[in-house]
Chain A
Amino acid sequence: MRKNLDVFFGLAAWLVGLLAVMAAFWPFWKFRFTWMEWVAPSLWTLCAVLMFVVSNRRPIKLWWVWPSFPLAFILWVSFAVLFLGGY
């Protein structure tokens, strides 16, 4: 378990991202906006940092966690897309 702790943190980061996407599209709970606003980004950052801290692997082997970044930051990525599009 300790050997794969970094993998668990990476999976936790993915879970945070998926929950953020669900919060964006389905009003399934009261604090969904707060989740997208700062909770999910903070948790994802924490998971990603912990993953790299506890990992004994080469960082390149943990590449699979990065695609979850736009999911966890979906609100801010949406704003960036809108502003780049001229909003």
Chain B
Amino acid sequence: MASKTQVKVVGFRWLSSRPGSGCEQCARWHEKEFYFQPQAGQLSTAEMPTPPLHPNCRCHTEPITATTVEFESQDGKPGFIEGGDKAGGGYWKNNGRGLLDGPVYQKWCGKYWSAGRDTRDSSAKGAADPSPADDLDAACSGHDDCYELFDADYCDRELINNLQSLSDDPRMWRNPPDSVEDATDYRRLAIWLFKLRVWGRQFRNFVYPGLYQPSK
């Protein structure tokens, strides 16, 4: 079974040059760890001082890394995708989903699909590393976050703008995808799908004013 190993920096560890006999200013930080996304009880990188703290200071930081291994099935499917058929760049009817749930792409693109799992299934594990796989996946992740804070219509329009701002050639993206064909197809499919949703709301509001009310 093929696998994809990803190593990423999750924070920094402060190391004093002379932990036992150095100055107090540096010694207090020795072996303290700072994280980009701190859990309870952990320090944030925003609180980390930047060496050198004083002249002749030889303290330094070293990165803290986390390794995730994402297994792929023999046909190249990501490990969190079970079953399903690929069409239009995405997988349909995977992970127990129905045809009407639509296609999913990577970890975040698709209805009720977040971090590689169906959110309606509380026992589903999802992707080992929930961070977006590429720029298209990141746009979908941002769309999910937007729904937490803003109105659905606003978020759908933002997603359309974000998708349209991506280059037509996925190889030019800042974070390019593994499959250029799948990313190209799914991006265009998603743009059309959300345009039709936005137009549908506009039409329904035109026919029956006040039918659609912003939820936030």
Contacts and interface: CB of A to CB of B under 8 A. Distances in A.
B77 interface: no
Interface in A1-60: 24-25, 27, 32-33, 37
Given A37-B188, A79-B193, A87 B102 contact: yes
A27 B90 CA distance: 12
Contacts of B181: 27
Nearest to A25: B87
Q: Give the 6 A-B residue pairs with the shortest CB-CB distance, closest first.
A: A85-B100, A27-B181, A24-B87, A25-B87, A33-B188, A82-B102
B112 to A, nearest CB: 11
Nearest to A82: B102
B62 interface: no
A81 interface: yes
B8 to A, nearest CB: 30
Interface of A: 24-25, 27, 32-33, 37, 75, 78-79, 81-83, 85-87
Given A81-B99, A85-B100, A86-B100, 7 more contacts: A25-B85, A25-B87, A33-B185, A37-B188, A78-B88, A87-B102, A87-B197
A82 B87 contact: no
B185 A32 contact: yes
B38 interface: no
24 contacts: A24-B87, A24-B88, A25-B87, A27-B181, A27-B182, A27-B185, A33-B185, A33-B188, A37-B188, A75-B189, A79-B192, A79-B196, A81-B99, A81-B100, A82-B100, A83-B196, A83-B200, A85-B99, A85-B100, A85-B101, A87-B100, A87-B111, A87-B193, A87-B197
